[in-house]
A and B are shown apart, each in its own frame.
Chain A
Amino acid sequence: MKLTVLKMSVAGIALAAATGAAWADKANDTLRLAFTKELENVDSYFNSSREGVVLQRAVWDGLIYRDPVTNEYKGNLATAWEWIDDTTIEFKLREGVKFHDGSDFTADDVVFTVNYVADEANGVKTQRNVNWMKSAEKVDDYTVRIMLKEKFPAAIEFLSGPVSIYPSDYYAEAGPEGMGLKPVGTGPYKVVDVTPGQHFVLEKYEGYHDSPKGQPTIGKVDIRTIPDVNTQIAELFSGTLDMIWQVPSDQSEKLEQMGQFTVANESTMRVGYLAMDAAGRSGEGPFTDVRVRQAVNHAINREELVEALLKGKSQVISTPCFPSQFGCDVDAAVSYDYDPEKAKALLAEAGYPDGFTTDFYAYRDREYAEAISSYLNAVGIQTNFKMLQYSALRELNMKGETPISFQTWGSYSVNDASAMVSQFFKHGSLDDARDDETLGYLDIADSSTDPEVRKENYAKAIERITEEAYWAPMFSYNTNYVYTNEVAYTPTADEVLRFTTMTWN
C-alpha cells in the first residue's frame, strides 16, 4: 500500500517535471520519444543495445544500405562495390557528402574507421560486428578497398548494418568518449544535445545526401530515458510524449482499445532461448546430460507462451537463429513438442527421477522468465530464480557460471545466420556447448563464398545444435509501437526506428 502510494507520487512528480520542462509537439515540429534503457555510450561501436542501433541508423551512415522491406542492397556512402577477390572488396564512394561538422567525406574516413574498429585493441564492444575486417586502404579520394581476414560472405550484410563510417579527423581527436558526447556523422539527423541519463536531441540534417534512407521531414526528435513503462504511458496520456515503443503486449492491447493512439505491432529478429551449460563450465551439472537438456526442451509450452504472453507477430522458434536470416534452415532443426510427461521420463532416465534444483538466471522480461521457470518447476526442475542486469549476467556467462539462463539475441538486425549461430557456437566466451562438430560446420559456412555450401553447413550446424539440445530456442519477439494520431509511421520488421520515414499527419 505504502509502496503503491510512493510509486504513484514518484510518477506524479516525474510527470509534473516533464510537463514543465519540454512542451513541444507537432506545432513545434518536435517528435518526443522515450527510451527505456540508458545507453553506455552513444558511439555505436561501444554499446550493444537496441537503442544504440536506433541512434546509429539516424546519426551515421554505412557504405551500403539494405532496404528493410525488399531486403535489396543499395549504395549509401558507396555508390558501387565489387569483389576483387575472395577477401577484397572495392568501393566507389559517393562524392559531395559532408559530415555534420562540415568536413568532407572521403576515402580517408573509410580507411580510418575500418582500421580503427578492426583493431581488437580498441575494444569495440561486439567484436563479431567488425573482427572479420583486416584493414582498409585508399585507392584514390573516392575509391577504397576493404581487406577481409578470411572469406566472409556476410560482409555486405554487416557493412549495411553495424559498420558505420566516422569522420577521421574528428574521431582521431575525440575518440569513443568524445564521439559519445558529441556525435558527428553523415546521417539524416545530427545530434544537438546529449545529456546522459536525461535525453538526446536530434535535429534534421539539412545537407543530407541523396540516400536510400530517404530525406528527414520531422524537424527535431527529443528522446528521453524513462525506465518505467507506466510513466511512459502516463506521459503519452498527458501529451508530453508522442511515441513509445517496446510496449508490453498487455498494455498495448489496452491502449489500442482506447482508440486515441495508433498501435502498430511488428515482429523483430530477437529470439528468446534458454542457454544450458552443456560443457559443464559451471561444474559437472545436470545439463551436461543431453537427456536433461531435451527434457527442458519438452517442458516448455512454446505455443502457449507465444499466444498468451508475447502475442502480436511473435512466432514459435525451434532454431538457434531467426528464420528470415540467410542459412537459418527451419527444416534442419529438431523441434521438441510440449510434453511434460516425456520431460519427466527423460529426467528419470538421466538419473533425476525426483528432479533437481538449479540456479536460473534471467536479465529481462521478468514475466516471461517466471512463466518459463514455472514450466521447469512443473516437471521437477526447481529453480532458484535470479534476475540480474544484462551486463552482470553477461559477465557471469562469460566466466561460465550460469547453469541455465534465459537469454535473448537480436542479431543487430543482421539478416544472416552467422550473426547468431556463429556468435554463440564458435567456442567464444559465451559458448556453453563447446562442440567441435558444430564448430567445424560453422567454420565452413562462415567462410565459404558459395551460398549453397553455406546453407548446407548452417543446416548441419543447426541440426547438430538442436539434436544435442544445447539450447532451448523458444520464441521470437515482437515490438509494439504506440504513437499519437498526429504521427504517421510504418514500423519495419527489424526493430529499428527510422526517423526518416516518420511524418506528421
Chain B
Amino acid sequence: MADVTSHDRLLDEITGPTPGQMLRKRVFGHQGLLIGLVVLLLLTLVAIFAPWLAPHDPYAQSLMTRMEPPVFMGGSWDHPLGTDHLGRDYLSRLIYGARVSLLIGAVAALISGVIGTAMGVAAGYFGGKVDTVVTFLINVRLAMPVVLVALAVVAILGGSLEVVIVVLGLLLWDRFAVVMRASTMQVRRREYVAAAQVIGASTPRILLSEIMPNIANNLIVVVTLEMAHAILLEAALSFLGLGVQPPTPSWGLMVSEGKNMMLFEPWLVLIPGAVLFVLVLAINLMGDGLRDVTAPENRS
C-alpha cells in the first residue's frame, strides 16, 4: 500500500496537472472573475429570454396606475418594481432594457475591436510608415471628445438604436489600437516570431497564430473596458434624450424619465441606476479576472 501511494505521488510530481486543469483551478480560484461571469451570464440570459421573463408588456401604458411604488416600498406583487411615469411595468422595462444595453455594449465593442485591433496590430508589426499613419489617426481620434462627437452626430442623424451602436463602434477604437500596437511591438521581437519568420511562415499566419494568441489577454481586457464604456455612453446619450428613443426601454432613458420625480420618488432613478452599476461592475470584474488567469506570466 505504501508503495502505491508513493508511486502515485511520484507520478503526480512527474506529470503535474494538465494545462486545462490548471486553468480551471485558476478560474475557480478567482472570486472576482466568478462573480463577474455569473452576473453577466444571468443578465445575458435575462436579455435573451426577456419575452418569457417579463411579467407585463414593457410598452403597455396605463395612465391610471402611474408611479406605483415597488413592492419593498409598499407596492403590490403585480408590479414588483412598481410602474413608471406612464404606468408601464418597471420590472418588464428593466428586463427589456438589458437587451438594449448588452446589444449596444457587445456590438459597439465588436465594431471598435475589429477596427482598433487591425490598426494596432498592423502598426505594431510593420512599424515604419504604417505606424506613423496609425499613430497619427490615434492622435486625431484622441483629440476628439467622445461624448461631444457622439452628441453632435446623433443630433444630426437622429437618435436610434442603430445610429448609437454605429457611432459608438466608430468612436471607441482608440484604446484597442493603442494597446494592441504596444503589445504587438513587444511580441514581435520574441524568438518564436523570428523562428516563424525563418521557417518561412506567411505574414497572415504569423499574425494569427504567433502574435494574436500572445496579445489576446490584453485584447480581452480592452474589450470588456470598452463594452462597459459603450454601455455607459449609451445610458448618457439616452439620458440626454439623444440615444435610444422612447418608447424603447433603455436604462439610461429610464433614469432620464425618472429624474423629474427624483426628489419624491427616488427609486425611479435608483433602480435602473443600480442595475446599470451592477452590469458595468460585472463586466469589469470579468475583464480583470480574465486578464489575471490568461496572462502568460501566470501560466507557469
Contacts and interface: CB of A to CB of B under 8 A. Distances in A.
B261 A4 contact: no
B260 A229 contact: yes
A377 B58 CA distance: 13
B232 interface: yes
B86 interface: yes
B245 A7 contact: no
Contacts of A305: 63
Contacts of B264: 250-251, 254
B239 A373 contact: no
A371 B61 contact: yes
Given A3-B239, A308-B64, A373-B246, A234 B277 contact: no
Contacts of B269: 4
Interface size class of A (residues with CB under 8 A): 20 to 34
Interface in A351-395: 366-367, 370-371, 373-375, 377-378, 384-387
Given A3-B236, A4-B270, A384-B160, A251 B263 contact: yes
A387 B59 contact: no
Given A4-B255, A234-B263, 11 more contacts: A1-B273, A3-B273, A4-B259, A4-B262, A251-B260, A254-B264, A305-B63, A367-B260, A370-B86, A377-B247, A386-B158
6 contacts: A3-B235, A250-B264, A374-B59, A374-B61, A374-B247, A386-B158
B260 A2 contact: no
A230 interface: yes
B206 to A, nearest CB: 42
B274 interface: yes
Contacts of B270: 4
A309 interface: yes
Nearest to B278: A1
Interface in B134-175: 158, 160
A118 interface: no
A304 interface: yes
Nearest to A303: B63
Nearest to B256: A3
Contact of B260 (A234, A248, A309, A371): A248
Contacts of A474: none
A387 B158 CA distance: 10
Interface in A253-297: 254
B24 to A, nearest CB: 34
Nearest to B63: A308
Interface string B232-250: 1001100101000111000
Q: Which 10 A-B pairs have the closest CB atoms?
A: A308-B63, A1-B273, A1-B277, A254-B264, A374-B61, A385-B245, A304-B63, A370-B246, A4-B273, A385-B246
Contact of B247 (A3, A4, A229, A373): A373
Given A4-B270, A305-B63, A371-B86, A230 B247 contact: no
A133 B253 CA distance: 48
Contacts of B85: 250, 367
The secondary structure that dominates the A interface is helix
B86 A367 contact: yes
B259 A7 contact: yes
B63 A371 contact: yes
Interface in B12-53: none
A207 to B, nearest CB: 43
B276 interface: yes
A2 B277 CA distance: 8
B58 to A, nearest CB: 11
B128 to A, nearest CB: 42
B67 interface: yes
A4 B267 CA distance: 11
B260 A230 contact: yes
A2 B232 contact: yes
Contacts of A307: 63-64
B66 interface: yes
Interface in B271-288: 273-274, 276-277
A233 interface: yes
Interface string A219-244: 00000000001100110000000000
Given A304-B64, A373-B247, A374-B61, A387 B241 contact: yes
Contacts of B255: 3-4
Contacts of A234: 263
A397 B274 CA distance: 40
A309 B158 CA distance: 28
Nearest to A375: B61
Nearest to A253: B264
A386 B260 CA distance: 19
B171 to A, nearest CB: 19
Contact of B245 (A230, A377, A384): A384
B60 to A, nearest CB: 9
Nearest to B264: A254
